[in-house]
């Protein structure tokens, strides 16, 4: 009998995501799931919306190569959290694009198709803290384990979800920083993550 290690299980999941053809419009896109997503032993997992065309779809590293990634790195740095200490994934693993090539929001069907990969990733990494980045990621968690949390009511709160701590945060995109949650507020939000990590370690 062959014992499957966590590494083997993760590489199997990566291979399945790479070969997934559930979404017709995504078949030419590559799933952003690999060792570049972070530590599979991380106690903190961040979940974004989808890889950006100029960011993770190009670099293969979630939240890197574009302004959202630069903002995310700045917010992590503000609480002394390193990428090597976390795992980052997305509600949709492939980059959804309009006919023009611009980013678009993942469809409900695409999020549903990808939710099994999200569920299995959470089960495999088994983080103590899950941090969603934006409303799409928070809403998609309902497909993994149902909840009734809303961004407008529950942003930057430490909640209980699926036997874990859940912290809904706003997306670090430049548009969100201008229209919904400015930088000073997001920096305060990340202090909630820092407090949760200290609570986890206590």
Give the model confidence (pLDDT) of 36-78 as tens digits.
999 999 999 999 999 999 999 999 999 999 999 999 999 999 9
Q: In what order do the strands lie in the sheet with 86-90?
A: 86-90, 44-48, 129-133, 164-169, 159-161
Q: Of 119, 107, 105, 98, which Cα lies nearest the Cα of 161?
A: 119
pTM of the model: 0.96
- CA dist., res. 1 & res. 14, Å (int): 23
Q: Which CATH class is domain 6-201?
A: alpha beta
Question: Per-residue pLDDT averaged across 75-99, rounded?
Answer: 97
- So what's the pLDDT on residue 48? 98
- So what's the pLDDT on residue 202? 75
Per DSSP, 144 falls in state: T
What contacts 125, CB < 8 A, 6 or more positions away?
40, 41, 42, 45, 87
- So what's the pLDDT on residue 101? 87
Averaged pLDDT score across all residues of the chain: 96
pLDDT(1) > 60: no
- So what's the pLDDT on residue 2? 60
Tell me how far the alpha carbon of residue 26 is from its chain's centroid.
18
Predicted confidence (pLDDT) per residue in 153-199, tens digit: 999 999 999 999 999 999 999 999 999 999 999 999 999 999 999 99
- So what's the pLDDT on residue 201? 83
């Amino acid at each position: 009998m062959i014992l499957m290690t966590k590494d083997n299980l993760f590489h199997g999941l990566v291979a399945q995501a790479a070969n997934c053809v559930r979404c017709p419009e995504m078949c030419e896109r590559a799933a952003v799931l690999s060792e570049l997503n972070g530590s599979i032993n991380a106690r903190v997992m961040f979940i974004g919306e989808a890889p950006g065309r100029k960011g993770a779809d190009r670099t293969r590293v979630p939240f890197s190569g574009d302004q959202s990634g630069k903002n995310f790195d700045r917010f992590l740095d503000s609480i002394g959290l390193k990428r090597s200490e976390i795992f980052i994934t997305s509600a949709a693993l492939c980059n959804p694009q309009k006919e023009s090539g611009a980013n678009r929001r993942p469809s409900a069907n695409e999020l549903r198709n990808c939710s099994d990969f999200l569920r299995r990733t959470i089960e495999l990494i088994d983080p103590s803290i899950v941090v969603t980045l934006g409303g799409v990621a928070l809403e998609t968690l309902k497909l993994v384990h149902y909840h009734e949390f809303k961004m407008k009511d529950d942003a930057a709160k430490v909640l209980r979800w699926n036997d874990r701590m859940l912290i809904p945060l706003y997306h670090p995109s430049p548009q969100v920083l201008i229209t919904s949650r400015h930088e000073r507020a997001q920096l305060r939000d990340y202090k909630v993550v820092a407090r949760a990590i200290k609570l986890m370690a206590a």
